[in-house]
């Protein structure tokens, strides 16, 4: 938040307005009954502008309940453990339970939520590099971690039994999914 030119603040404001409008409307009318136009309208902005902020209808809704930044990696200790802690940290947010239920229930939102995992790859790459790992190696590892996170999210969202029930603790699932990658991560230790 270092630079806060007025312009930047206004942009952030409309972004937030769009997110909140999207979430509110989706919760009120059901996610499939919300049109982009309504969201834009509720945020006091033109429909075209909506897509200057979000690449799809679902993104605004999901963004409203998604952590914006990854926690930093712990400085020392095994890389695998530090990564697991960071990823778990990122996905351990309170977040409106009703909103989460809606996301887990709706296919489009589910997919969009899972794709969130791609967003951690950039920061992860940097973080891994800053621990002395070669940049190209770090890129691959971050991509692998992102893929594992997606698997974990998919497992978490998978309808268990007949009912749409969250199938286990997300932190546990994330740690379990990252486990197979641990040898690769710890092999980078100097």
Partner DNA sequence: GCGCAAAGTTGCGTGCACGCAATTTTGGAC
Partner DNA sequence: GTCCAAAATTGCGTGCACGCAACTTTGCGC
Q: Which residues bind DNA (CB under 7 A)?
A: 5-8, 10-11, 14, 34-37, 45-53, 55-58
Beta-carbon contacts of 50 under 8 Å, excluding residues fewer than 6 positions away, are 18, 36, 39, 40, 43, 60
Shortest reach from residue 180's CB to a copy of itself, in Å: 5
Residue carrying the six token digits 């499939």: 32
Long-range contacts from 18-23, C-beta under 8 angstroms, 24+ separation: 18/43, 18/45, 18/50, 18/53, 18/54, 18/60, 19/60, 19/61, 19/63, 19/64, 20/64, 21/60, 22/60, 22/61, 22/64, 23/60, 23/61, 23/64, 23/65, 23/96, 23/99
Shortest reach from residue 79's CB to DNA, in Å: 35
Shortest reach from residue 30's CB to DNA, in Å: 12
In the bound state with DNA, the residue whose beta carbon lies nearer, of 80 and 114, is: 114
In the bound state with a copy of itself, the residue whose beta carbon lies nearer, of 86 and 141, is: 141
Among DNA, a copy of itself, none, what does residue 104 contact (CB within 5–8 Å per kind)? none
Options 19-27, 41-49, 90-98, 179-187: segment touching a copy of itself (CB under 8 A): 179-187
Position 156 contacts a copy of itself (CB under 8 A): no
96 and 65 Cβ atoms separated by less than 8 Å: yes
Shortest reach from residue 113's CB to DNA, in Å: 15
Of 81, 100, 144, 170, which one interacts with a copy of itself (CB under 8 A)?
144
Q: Is the dihedral of CA 71, 117, 59, 171 positive or negative?
A: negative
| Rg (the chain; Cα; Å) | 18
Cβ of 70: how many Cβ atoms within 10 Å?
19
In the bound state with a copy of itself, the residue whose beta carbon lies nearer, of 19 and 91, is: 91
In the bound state with DNA, the residue whose beta carbon lies nearer, of 65 and 152, is: 65
Shortest reach from residue 56's CB to DNA, in Å: 3
Q: Where does this chain bind a copy of itself (CB under 8 A)?
A: 136-137, 139-141, 143-144, 146-148, 150-151, 176-184, 186-188
């Amino acid at each position: 938040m270092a630079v806060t030119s007025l312009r930047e603040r206004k942009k952030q404001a409309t972004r937030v307005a769009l997110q909140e409008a999207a979430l509110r409307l989706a919760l009120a009318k059901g996610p499939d009954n919300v049109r982009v136009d309504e969201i834009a309208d509720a945020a006091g902005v033109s429909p075209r502008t909506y897509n200057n902020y979000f690449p799809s209808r679902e993104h605004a809704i999901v963004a409203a309940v998604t952590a914006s930044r990854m926690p930093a990696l712990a400085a020392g200790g095994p890389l695998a453990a530090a990564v697991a802690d960071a990823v778990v940290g990122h996905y351990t947010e309170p977040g409106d339970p009703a909103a989460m239920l809606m996301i887990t229930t709706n296919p489009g939102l589910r997919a969009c939520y899972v794709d969130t995992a791609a967003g951690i790859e950039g920061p992860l790459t940097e973080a891994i590099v800053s621990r002395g790992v070669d940049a190209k190696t770090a890129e691959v590892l971050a991509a692998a971690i992102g893929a594992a996170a997606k698997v974990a999210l998919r497992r978490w969202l998978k309808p268990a039994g007949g009912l749409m029930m969250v199938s286990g603790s997300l932190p546990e699932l994330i740690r379990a999914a990252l486990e197979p990658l641990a040898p690769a991560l710890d092999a980078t230790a100097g």
